[in-house]
Amino acid sequence: MKRFTTVALTALAPISWGSTYAVATELLPPDRPLFTGVMRALPAGLLLTALARRLPTGAWWWKAAVLGTLNIGAFFPLLFLSAYRLPGGVAAVLGSAGPLFVVGLAALVLGERARLRTVLAAVAGAFGVSMVVLTAAARLDLVGIVAGVVSSASMAAGTVMTKRWGRPEGVGPLALTGWQLTAGGLVIIPVAALVEGAPPALDGKAFLGYGYMMLINTGIAYWLWFRGIGRLTATSVTLLGPLSPLTAAVIGWAALGQSLSPVQVLGMAIAFGATVAGQLFAAGTPTQPFSSAEENDRNISMDLTDGPVRR
């Protein structure tokens, strides 16, 4: 029951991210994705850091910067570049490949065994998402494809390294999330200024949209995501990723008047089934507590050097 609760709470993060498209198109200024990235990350990061009342110390200044860049600062701009250069369906499929990156990186960095059934669940999830979002008119663009693949790899690396480094002694997921969002937002600022110029004028709808993005879609969602990484395996967490495009499709149908074909409904069923199966497959996998970074380093080092890797 405890694991089910953790999985359910962690799943709220990708479900929340699935609302990004609807909020952006209905409430936010058009064609300002990088400014939106800054508004999502930086205020939320500063707020969470203030609530936690903890700043990084020692090596955690650069570790927080690295994690913030991987999970936010590089991920957001690359994701937006992919979305602009490719149809939304192609970009979503590239994003759904993230679990495959995590499976490979977790095996190399964390010693998590890459089981065939887990890989098949990740592939089935990506296939189901492709049935939901791809259209016959989808065009391909090399720059967009590279950006989409690298964005998925960036967040996959951030997920694995968040698990690898753990947290400093006495620091909770609230502070760790705040550090990463702040660092990521600061990384995006110069890119946004260079590409998009001065911030746009904001009306009441924009303030409402950015408020939702900052508090729910980013602050709470990423806190739940990093909390889940601390309590589950990295692979188990990332297999929840397909819930994001599935939620986007449901919101598009329910709130934006978009239609769903029988093929799309079947794809949703396959992707959701793969997500559930991935969690069932991971249920028996031991999970190392998300304690201090030093303890995680020591335990993983022992796993990799003292004979066969422990399971």
Residue 303 — pLDDT band, cuts 50, 70, 90? very low
Find the helix packing angle between 243-254 and 262-282, rounded to 10°: 150
Cα–Cα distances in Å, from 57 out to 168, 185, 273?
9, 20, 43
Please say if the pLDDT value at position 309 is more than 60: no
Look at residue 167 and give its three-state secondary structure.
strand
CA quadruple 288, 292, 294, 300: dihedral, nearest 10: 10
Predicted confidence at residue 15, as pLDDT, reads: 93
Confidence at residue 97, expressed as pLDDT on a 0 to 100 scale: 79
pLDDT at 133: 78
- Is 240:10 a contact under the CB 8 Å cutoff? yes
Taking the alpha carbons of 26, 27, 32, 34 in that order, is the dihedral positive or negative?
Answer: negative
Q: How many residues does the chain have?
A: 311
Number of H helices and E strands in the chain, helices first, is 16, 0
pLDDT digits (tens, 9 = 90+) for 227-259: 999 899 888 898 998 898 888 888 888 887 878
Please state, in angstroms and rounded to a whole number, the distance separating the CA atoms of residues 287 and 6.
12
6 phi/psi in degrees, rounded to 5: -65, -45
Residue 311 has which token pair?
Answer: 């399971």
Task: Name the residue with higher pLDDT: 208 or 257.
Answer: 208
Domain chopping of the chain, boundaries:
3-285
For 277-296, what is each residue's pLDDT tens digit? 988 877 765 555 554 444 44
Residue 159 in this model has a pLDDT that exceeds 60: yes
pLDDT in tens, 2-36: 888 999 999 999 999 888 888 888 898 888 889 99
pLDDT exceeds 80 at position 56: yes
Whole-model pTM: value is: 0.85
Both tokens of 128, joined, read 């189901």
pLDDT (0 to 100) of residue 298:
46
Of residues 141 and 161, the one with the higher pLDDT is 161
pLDDT in tens, 34-48: 999 999 999 999 999
Q: What share of the chain is helix, strand, coil (3-state, %, to 5)?
A: 75, 0, 25
Residue 31: predicted pLDDT: 82
